[in-house]
């Protein structure tokens, strides 16, 4: 599992470690790791042009000492001193190694640019000249390497307010920072390389975690010799309407491909016909009235994709949410509970799977504000609503009160197409029915959905049904990676 920490958590660990080390030793460790990554990127170091963007803080010191090491290997290293002060020992070391202070605009011609402008303690928009230098670095042809976090990214949240460095590689020291795993910060971090400087024993419980394929493989239910279709989990799906029959088909498909022992679909005549035609494996109940008493026993429900938001749909949602099993609420179901929040007041677990627009209606927040601070708003929703939240989007966030948020690191932009969320709901519902908690079901479903999307797309457009079809291959992929 990849764990990440806030700036305050990192600083606390650094202070504890520095108390046991000679002065300056921690910065030298960081500089050595940074220089090694830069040398690998350059390939041939001798004669290559390296520009350091140096701020006033320790990131500037890291950049200067890394520049010194590259200069001693024959690189032409120039430092742009942007801060009100400069790490004196680091600058002296660079100059002694043959580096120099730049006296003009040199960023554009660099082979490699090291961003040491601001570190993990910075917040808010970059001030000048930092903002201008960030823009120059982004426009330059050379590879940009950020020290710890790209300048302009809030290390604790991933917020970006104004200009930010777009790094090709970020070398982060000691541990991952939350802002490197959550958009918009993650989007400008590039490839993240972790430099071990010895912080491990001093780190607290993480702020955020990202599951790996091995983690997911370890959580996924596996049938045993005594398994039957009932023991493997029975999922109820209340989805689809006369207008949106496809949502029912896709949710049921995601559930069947997700390993549920049985899927019971309950709906109106038009989606019932489509589900029967597409998925003969599903047990189908035609609902003349919004009642689920004849559907049969289930271990979990998926509620909402394409359901509609009329009085009939509201009554069906109320019946499903009145049960004593976990319920996943998505799409139209989220609209219904945003209008009637009392529907969520239940003892059994609830997993909601909104995108930013749906979450904005649930918690009364601006959609743009949610997109800018996804982690903050997912946590807020989990606390205020008393549910587990899977916030869909460029970074999928899973939040549950009292536990580290989880972010998903799989996926492809090709998943941004109609119906893929219905497949995700069915997949997550299947995992709920098989006994996973909302927290684990949401996290594993997001991971597998992303892998399946990548397999289905393979660099080209996909349809939502392709993602459902690829779920078993995604499960095999994580199993093979875990061996």
Q: Confirm or deny that 408 is annotated as ligand binding.
A: no
Residue 135: closest CA among 166, 160, 159, 114 = 166
- As a whole number of angstroms, the distance between CA 16 and CA 24 comes to 14
* Angle CA 423–445–248, to nearest 5: 20
Q: Confirm or deny that 59 is annotated as ligand binding.
A: yes
Q: Confirm or deny that 120 is annotated as ligand binding.
A: yes
Q: Confirm or deny that 422 is annotated as ligand binding.
A: yes
Q: Confirm or deny that 122 is annotated as ligand binding.
A: yes
3-class SS letters over 341-370: HHHHCCCCCEEECCCHHHHHHHHCCCHHHH
Q: Confirm or deny that 355 is annotated as ligand binding.
A: yes
Q: Confirm or deny that 123 is annotated as ligand binding.
A: yes
Q: Confirm or deny that 115 is annotated as ligand binding.
A: yes
DSSP state letter for 324: S
Q: Confirm or deny that 296 is annotated as ligand binding.
A: no
Q: Confirm or deny that 294 is annotated as ligand binding.
A: no
Q: Confirm or deny that 110 is annotated as ligand binding.
A: no
* Sheet with 234-238, edge to edge strand ranges: 176-177, 2-5, 208-210, 405-407, 397-399, 388-391, 350-352, 327-329, 300-303, 234-238, 262-267, 283-286
- The residue written with tokens 């026993």 in the block is 297
Q: Confirm or deny that 306 is annotated as ligand binding.
A: yes
How far is the CA of 102 from the CAs of 23, 94, 108, 298, 349, in angstroms?
29, 12, 13, 69, 60
Q: Confirm or deny that 471 is annotated as ligand binding.
A: no
Q: Confirm or deny that 421 is annotated as ligand binding.
A: yes
C-alpha radius of gyration, the chain, whole number: 26
Q: Confirm or deny that 245 is annotated as ligand binding.
A: no
Contact 255, 233 (CB under 8 A): no
- As a whole number of angstroms, the distance between CA 478 and CA 259 comes to 15
Q: Confirm or deny that 247 is annotated as ligand binding.
A: yes
Q: Confirm or deny that 55 is annotated as ligand binding.
A: no
Q: Confirm or deny that 151 is annotated as ligand binding.
A: yes
Q: Confirm or deny that 393 is annotated as ligand binding.
A: yes
Q: Confirm or deny that 453 is annotated as ligand binding.
A: no
Could you write out the DSSP letters of every residue in 44-86? S-TT-EEEEEE-SSHHHHHHHHHHHHHHHTT-EEEEEE-SSS-
Q: Confirm or deny that 15 is annotated as ligand binding.
A: no
- As a whole number of angstroms, the distance between CA 467 and CA 330 comes to 18
Q: Detail the residues annotated as belonging to a binding site for K(+).
A: 59, 115, 151
Q: Detail the residues annotated as belonging to a binding site for AMP.
A: 392-396, 421
Q: Detail the residues annotated as belonging to a binding site for (6S)-NADPHX.
A: 58-62, 119-125, 130, 148, 247, 306, 355, 422
Q: Detail the residues annotated as belonging to a binding site.
A: 58-62, 115, 119-125, 130, 148, 151, 247, 306, 355, 392-396, 421-422
């Amino acid at each position: 599992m990849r764990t990440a920490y806030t700036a305050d958590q990192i600083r606390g660990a650094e202070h504890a470690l520095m108390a046991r080390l000679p002065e300056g030793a921690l910065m030298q460790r960081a500089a050595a790791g940074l220089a090694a990554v830069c040398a690998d990127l350059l390939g041939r170091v001798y004669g290559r042009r390296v520009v350091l963007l140096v701020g006033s803080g320790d990131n500037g010191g890291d950049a200067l000492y890394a520049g010194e090491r590259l200069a001693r290997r024959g690189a032409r290293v120039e430092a742009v001193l942007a801060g009100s002060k400069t790490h004196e020992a680091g600058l002296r070391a660079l100059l002694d190694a043959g580096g120099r202070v730049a006296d003009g605009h040199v960023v554009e011609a660099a082979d490699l640019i090291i961003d040491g402008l601001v570190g993990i303690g910075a917040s808010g928009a970059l001030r000048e000249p930092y903002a201008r230098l960030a823009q120059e670095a982004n426009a330059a042809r050379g590879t940009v390497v950020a020290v710890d976090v790209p300048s302009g990214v809030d290390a604790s949240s991933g917020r970006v307010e104004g200009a930010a460095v777009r790094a090709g590689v970020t070398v982060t020291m000691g541990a991952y920072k939350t802002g490197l795993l959550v958009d918009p910060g993650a989007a400008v971090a590039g490839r993240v390389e972790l430099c071990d400087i010895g912080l491990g024993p001093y780190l607290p419980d993480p702020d955020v975690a990202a599951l790996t394929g091995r983690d997911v493989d370890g959580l996924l239910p596996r049938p045993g010799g005594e398994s039957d279709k009932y023991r493997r989990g029975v999922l109820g799906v209340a989805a689809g309407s006369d207008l949106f029959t496809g949502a029912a088909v896709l949710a049921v498909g995601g559930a069947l491909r997700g390993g549920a022992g049985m899927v019971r679909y309950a709906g109106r005549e038009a989606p019932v016909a489509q589900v029967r035609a597409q998925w003969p494996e599903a047990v189908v109940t035609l609902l003349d009235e919004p009642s689920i008493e004849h559907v049969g026993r289930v271990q979990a429900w998926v509620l909402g994709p394409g359901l509609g938001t009329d009085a009939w749909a509201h009554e069906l949602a109320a019946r499903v949410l009145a049960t004593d099993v976990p319920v996943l609420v998505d799409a139209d179901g989220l609209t219904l509970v945003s209008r009637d929040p009392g529907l969520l007041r239940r003892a059994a677990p609830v997993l909601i799977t909104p995108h930013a627009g749906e979450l904005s209606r649930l918690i009364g927040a601006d959609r743009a504000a949610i997109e800018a601070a996804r982690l903050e708003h997912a946590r807020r929703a989990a606390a205020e609503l008393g549910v587990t939240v899977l916030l869909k989007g460029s970074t999928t966030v899973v939040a549950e009160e009292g536990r580290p948020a989880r972010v998903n690191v799989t996926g492809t932009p090709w998943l941004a197409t109609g119906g893929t969320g219905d497949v995700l709901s069915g997949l997550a519902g299947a995992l709920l029915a098989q006994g996973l908690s909302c927290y684990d079901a949401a996290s594993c479903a997001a991971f597998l959905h992303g892998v399946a999307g990548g397999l289905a797309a393979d660099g080209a457009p996909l349809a939502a049904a392709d993602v459902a079809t690829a779920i078993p291959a995604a499960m095999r992929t994580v199993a093979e990676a875990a061996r």
